[in-house]
Amino acid sequence: MSASQTSDPAPQTSTPASPRRLLEKLSPVSGARLGEFPVADEAEVRAAVARARAAFPGWRDTPLAARAEVMARVKQVLAEQGEHYARKISEDTGKPTFEATMMEIGAVPLLLDYMLRRAPVLLRRQKVPTPLVLPGKSAFIEHFPRGVIGIISPWNFPFQLAVVPVLSALIGGNTVVLKQSEITPIVAGVVEDLFRRIGLPAGVVEIVHGDGSTGAALTRAEVDMLFFTGSVATGRKVMAAAAQRPIPVELELGGKDAMIVCADANLERAAEAAVWGGLVNCGQACVSVERIFVVDAIHDRFVEKVREKVARVTVGGPDEQADMGPLTSGAQLGIVERHVNSAIAAGAKVVFGGEKLQRPGQFFAPTLLTGVTPEMEIFREETFGPVLPVIRVRDEDEAVRLANASEFGLAGSVWTQDIDKGLRLASRMECGQVSVNDVIQSVGHPALPFGGVRSSGIGRYHGDAGILGFMHTRGIMVDRGFLNSEPLWFPYAGKVSHGFELLKGITTRSLGSLVKGFLGLRKKMTRPK
């Protein structure tokens, strides 16, 4: 359905006129039934792509300033509807309303402002230097939209991680077909309502609701690029589908982010950061702190500070104004339990928490583990839950080595009061973003690119890369056309010695040889009569 034509979809409470598969949504806080939501089939997905394809030429040819004017209305809608949207996000995910407000909704205008400011600079035709070996010519670079972008977004930050890629694609003149997670169908309706309200032309943003089958249908449809945020396993499937055509793909996948605490760190700040960085959004962030490497000299002091702070974290639903909510996904709760239990069986010590809370909903206690080693599942695999695994290390070199000993490489942090040392260690970490004495917030810096290495993904978004990633790049070279021929064109007879002289000028940067070679070639430009 088109975001420009349809309002927030209501749950299906009665049997539809035609047979249609429905998904049941349960509250992660109470387990109560919140409604049933439709699943788009392959035909509906292809129809949505066709509408986006038909809308593409008009949106592409709309002047950038006019596109930006429409997109800027997002801020007005968020100012008017932000509180309502935040409460719907909390209802769907279980996350605290403060997190829904600041980390989901609040991130959007910050990143949008950057796009609106930078797009006119990035997307205009730019002249580039031309070497002396190409005299009389000018060269330019320009960008043009890829076409119809298929975006598949996740459930952990279902508003921000859907809206920001869509806006990044739209600013350059692309159209979008968006499929959001079946785990958060209420937020999918919120996103649809947002794009309806800003008044986009019909077909510019198409939203299809459904489950994994709907996402798979989108990867098979005639889109021009796929942008996926989610698990490594599904990311591989998306990449394989894109390879069949082939089309470009950007993958924003998982992380196992390392926090390196040096002996000279501000331990109070580092402990506060570890607790927030590991437990915010119930640990359900690809940039959550998932491995804490602590130098031996301060290990015990640091762990005690973290224990005290974890013990003060309140847990509950949005109405309780708690610090930490439930896990949004029931399946993820099972993974967290498995990781913690297997770590305990392998010798890890539970300092705090370590079990599911005895109350309705999908709540797991904030958990602090020590004695974690590289052989454990919780060290190697993404936990995506409220668990802080601490690894004791001899020194910073061992910390960096172990931090890099992972299939993931998304983000990380270094904690030291020696900023030069912090920067040196940051430059040795094999990941897409590193913070010194900070955690997670670098993701919200609008000028910084975001993305990972290895299994954490391919490509970058946010910053300039977030705009250019959805664009083709075109090189243009111009000659004024005054001459009838060129020195390098046919015929070659009599040009070999002059070619050697020109080669000498190119390789030795000798202006004399360049001029001599070219003048010799110019004399041979006219064919003999």
Q: What is the DSSP string of 280-323?
A: GGGG-STTSEEEEEEEGGGHHHHHHHHHHHHHT--B--GGGT-S
User: What contacts 438, CB < 8 A, 6 or more positions away?
Assistant: 273, 413
Q: Per the domain annotation, does 529 fall within a domain?
A: no
Question: What pLDDT shows up at residue 510?
Answer: 87
Residues with active-site annotation: 252, 286
CA 265 – CA 65 distance, rounded (Å) = 47
Domain membership flag for residue 121: yes
Residue 25 identity (one-letter amino acid): K
Same domain, yes or no: 309 and 181: no
CA angle, 312 then 318 then 320, to 5°: 55
Per-residue pLDDT at 6: 37
Per-residue b or e along 54-74, where b marks 16 or more CB atoms closer than 10 Å to that residue's CB: ebbeebeebeeeebbebbeeb
Reading phi first (left if > 0) and then psi (alpha if -120 to 50, else beta), residue 31 is in left
459 belongs to a structural domain: no
Q: Residues 42, 124: one domain?
A: yes
Residues 338 and 269 in one domain: yes
CATH number of domain containing 185: 3.40.605.10
Q: Within this chain, do residues 269 and 219 fall inside the same structural domain, yes or no?
A: no
Are residues 279 and 234 located together in one domain of the fold?
no
Q: Do 149 and 211 share a structural domain?
A: yes
Q: Is residue 13 part of a domain?
A: no
- Euclidean distance between the first and final Cα of the chain, in Å? 69
In terms of domains, do 409 and 497 share one? no
* 276: in domain: yes
Considering the domain architecture, whether residues 127 and 151 belong to the same structural domain is answered as yes
Residues 499 and 428 in one domain: no
Residue 70 and residue 179 in one domain = yes
Verify cis geometry, omega within 30 degrees of 0, for the bond prior to 246.
yes
Q: CA 370 to CA 280: how far, in whole Å? A: 20
Same domain, 333 and 432: yes
Tally of domains in the chain: 3
Q: Which pTM value belongs to this model?
A: 0.93
Residues with Cβ within 8 Å of residue 17, at least 6 apart in sequence: none
Residue 251 forms beta bridges with which residues?
228, 458
Token pair for 208 = 């299809």
- pLDDT of the residue at 520: 84
For residues 229 and 397, is the Cβ–Cβ distance under 8 A?
no
The tokens for 169 are 């694609």
Contacts of 187 (CB under 8 A, 6+ apart): 88, 89, 92, 93, 158, 159, 162, 180
- Comparing C-alpha atoms, which of 312, 375, 299 is closest to residue 343? 375
- Does residue 14 form part of some domain? no
d(CA 438, CA 274): 10
pLDDT at 46: 98
Q: Concatenated DSSP letters for 43-69? A: HHHHHHHHHHHHHHHHHHHS-HHHHHH
Q: What is the pLDDT of residue 211?
A: 96
By C-alpha distance, which of 316, 266, 242, 247 is closest to 90?
316
Q: Residue 273 is inside which H or E element, if any?
A: helix 267-279
Residue 30 belongs to some domain of the structure: no
- d(CA 62, CA 57) in angstroms, rounded, equals 9
Residue 151 token pair:
């975006």
DSSP conformation class of 2: B
**Structural domain span for residue 262:** 257-444
Asked if the structure places residue 434 within a domain, the reply is yes
Whether residue 435 sits in one domain with residue 356: yes
In sequence order, which residues have a C-beta less than 8 Å from that of residue 134 and are 6 or more positions away?
477
CATH number of the domain where residue 319 is located: 3.40.309.10
Q: Which residue has the tokens 């890099």?
A: 404
pLDDT, tens only, 478-500: 999 988 888 889 999 988 998 88
Q: Domain end: 436, 452, 474, which one?
A: 474
Q: In the chain, which residues have pLDDT < 50?
A: 1-17, 528-529
The token pair at 272 is 């506060």
Sign of the torsion angle spanned by Cα atoms 264, 267, 268, 269: positive
